[in-house]
Amino acid sequence: MVITGWDSGVKLLKSEVEQAEYEGFIVPQELKEEINSLHGTFDANNECKIIELTEKLKNLPRDPDFKYVQPNDLEGIKKERPAGPRQLKMNYSDAELLDRLHGAWTGRAAGCALGKPVEGLGMGGRKELGLNGRKAIRLYLKNRGHWPLDYYFSGKESKDQIKLGCEKSWRENIKFMEPDDDIHYSIIGLKVLEEKGPDFKWDDVAKTWNSSLPYYAICTAETQAILNFNIKTPRIRSAGQSTYTTPEFTRRFNNPYREWIGAQIRADGWAYACAGNPELSAEFAWRDAHWTHTANGIYGEMFLAAMIAASFVESDPHKIVEIGLSEIPKNCRLAEGVREALKWIKQCKDFESFMEKLEARYSAMSPVHTVNNALIVVMSLFYGKMNPDKSICISVMGALDTDCNGASTGSIVGAAAGKKKFGGKLAPALNDTIKPLVFGFQETTMKELAERTLAVHKKVKKYFEER
């Protein structure tokens, strides 16, 4: 059996070395050299060696200087989190809450659509010109007279010869939110809660992916986790036995992406259903995250879920971020990064000077990691002053995983503003329409999604009150 998934077996193995060191394990130099010597193309010739080296990476010594406390289980996480409000007072009428839910769905779609065309540019930059993602995006916009960003990207040709993807999301063409995993997962959250209710389990999420998403619509950690789930889940199920696997297996086996951004972008559907209740929102996010991710990968989804749930009540970015921090371990890498980012915000006059600090601090980190991207979302709320269009545009100009960060920022500012006060130019271009690849939702409106979310929210609220 040739081991693959999101990438080839050799590349998965090499990525595992980076992940193991990030988790505080010591990888011997001779083991690194042996792994780096493998041929990257012909996996079949390396198969036995890949299996052998994978086993060696499972038995590494822990670095005694590793200072973080990062549990994966919910009770362990709760024991390590700081004090927090857990639940906020929210006394909206159905119409008022519907408006905020509509704003949240609108913000998520607008931010995602804005960032889609420059996702590759934001992560990769233009190395031949010595430009990182942020500087490449700035060059692109300046050459077209569109700096600073205030509307969707143009596909207009220029002397820089930079070409964008996702033509349906260019300003010349945009009419709706095109398919994207950031939107798909928000809809999956809604669908799981509609079909399974607030007592949903982690494997309900996995099964919903199987029945609702094309395999090619998922990436990195999600690709690995659903593969792991399926190789131990029979298509024809025995009575009382639906799967023979556990989250410990699905999140770890051949999954070096377990602290990347994949879970963080799945927070929104749970948060909308738990509006005003950051603790329950974080719990739902944990149920969703812990079978695909570990540690900071889990915390990223819990942090965003708590912030989004809080933004239905709070509009002060300081309070929103502190509420997010209150639902994750105080001594984890993500919390450390957020606290440092809050200090940078006080020191830096604009988002670009902030990003210079972030880029220096996390220069070796993957552009699709949880931590660095979460900090872009945080800073966008402050420099954008919670204005929907401005905050979303800043998150995309900050680069890295642009569509993910635009969407997450959009959820927060959209929920805080509501649809009626959303304002700006981004929302009208989408015509309130989303055309995802989630089966049963191939074309829908943000208003319809908000209405269905309101119905789910009522069920969740009753569940929480009776628990």
Q: pLDDT tens for residues 273-288?
A: 999 999 999 999 999 9
452 — phi, psi (to 5°)? -70, -35
Q: How many CB atoms lie within 10 A of CB 370?
A: 31
The whole domain housing 297 covers 74-116+178-466
Q: How far apart are CA 231 and CA 82, in angstroms?
A: 39
| Higher pLDDT, residue 178 or 234 | 178
Q: How many CB atoms lie within 10 A of CB 252?
A: 19
SS3 content of the chain, % helix, strand, coil (to 5): 60, 5, 40
Q: How far apart are CA 366 and CA 369, in angstroms?
A: 5
Instruction: At 366, list the tokens.
Output: 């993957």
Q: Could you tell me the pLDDT band of residue 64, with boundaries at 50, 70 and 90?
A: very high
Of 46-50, 58-62, 388-392, 404-408, the range with the lowest mean pLDDT is 46-50
Of 73-82, 88-97, 155-164, 253-262, the range with the lowest mean pLDDT is 155-164
Residue 430 lies in a domain: yes
Q: Residue 445 pLDDT > 80, yes or no?
A: yes
Q: Residue 40 pLDDT > 80, yes or no?
A: no
Mean pLDDT of the chain: 95
Q: pLDDT tens for residues 394-429?
A: 999 999 999 999 999 999 999 999 999 999 999 999
Count of domains for the chain: 2
246 — phi, psi (to 5°)? -135, 160
| Higher pLDDT, residue 199 or 38 | 199
Q: What is the pLDDT, as a whole number, of residue 351?
A: 98
The count of C-alpha atoms lying within 13 angstroms of the C-alpha of 163, restricted to the half-sphere facing its C-beta, is 2
Residue 411 lies in a domain: yes
Q: Could you tell me the pLDDT band of residue 117, with boundaries at 50, 70 and 90?
A: very high
Residue 266 lies in a domain: yes
Kindly state whether residues 264 and 306 are assigned to the same domain: yes
Residue 4 lies in a domain: no
Cα first-last separation, the chain: 46
Which residues touch 211 (CB under 8 Å, ≥6 apart)? Answer: 439
Residue 44 lies in a domain: yes
Kindly state whether residues 381 and 307 are assigned to the same domain: yes
Kindly state whether residues 237 and 332 are assigned to the same domain: yes
Which residues touch 405 (CB under 8 Å, ≥6 apart)? Answer: 111, 115, 373, 376, 377, 380, 395, 396, 398
Q: What is the pLDDT, as a whole number, of residue 112?
A: 98
Q: Residue 138 pLDDT > 60, yes or no?
A: yes
Q: What residue has token string 């934001």?
A: 122
Q: Residue 354 pLDDT > 90, yes or no?
A: yes
Q: What is the pLDDT, as a whole number, of residue 75?
A: 98
Q: What is the pLDDT, as a whole number, of residue 234?
A: 81
Q: Could you tell me the pLDDT band of residue 1, with boundaries at 50, 70 and 90?
A: low
Kindly state whether residues 18 and 79 are assigned to the same domain: no
Kindly state whether residues 51 and 78 are assigned to the same domain: no
Q: What is the pLDDT, as a whole number, of residue 233?
A: 86
CATH number of the domain bearing residue 106: 1.10.4080.10
The mean pLDDT value for 162-180 works out to: 97
437 close to 181: Cβ distance less than 8 angstroms: no
What does 401-460 look like in DSSP terms, one character per residue? SHHHHHHHHHHHHHHHH-STT--SSTTGGGTTEE--SSTT-SSEEHHHHHHHHHHHHHHH
pTM for this model (two decimals): 0.97
Q: What is the pLDDT, as a whole number, of residue 258?
A: 98
Residue 3 lies in a domain: no
Kindly state whether residues 289 and 220 are assigned to the same domain: yes
Residue 134 lies in a domain: no
Q: Residue 236 pLDDT > 80, yes or no?
A: no
Kindly state whether residues 188 and 253 are assigned to the same domain: yes
Q: Residue 41 pLDDT > 80, yes or no?
A: no
Kindly state whether residues 427 and 340 are assigned to the same domain: yes
Q: What is the pLDDT, as a whole number, of residue 466?
A: 80
Q: pLDDT tens for residues 186-229?
A: 999 999 999 999 999 999 999 999 999 999 999 999 999 999 99
245 — phi, psi (to 5°)? -125, 175
Q: Could you tell me the pLDDT band of residue 49, with boundaries at 50, 70 and 90?
A: confident
The mean pLDDT value for 133-154 works out to: 97
Residue 442 lies in a domain: yes
Kindly state whether residues 26 and 81 are assigned to the same domain: no
Kindly state whether residues 38 and 99 are assigned to the same domain: no
As a whole-number percent, the residues of the chain with pLDDT over 90 amount to: 88
Q: Could you tell me the pLDDT band of residue 39, with boundaries at 50, 70 and 90?
A: confident
Helical segments of 232-291, H only: 247-250, 268-273, 278-289
Kindly state whether residues 30 and 78 are assigned to the same domain: no
Q: How far apart are CA 359 and CA 313, in angstroms?
A: 32
Q: What is the pLDDT, as a whole number, of residue 238?
A: 59
Q: What is the pLDDT, as a whole number, of residue 161?
A: 87
Closest CA to 186 of 246, 108, 258: 108
As a whole-number percent, the residues of the chain with pLDDT over 70 amount to: 97
Q: How far apart are CA 118 and CA 422, in angstroms?
A: 24
Q: pLDDT tens for residues 6-36?
A: 998 889 999 999 999 999 999 999 999 999 9
Kindly state whether residues 414 and 447 are assigned to the same domain: yes
Q: pLDDT tens for residues 282-321?
A: 999 999 999 999 999 999 999 999 999 999 999 999 999 9
Instruction: At 18, list the tokens.
Output: 């980076």
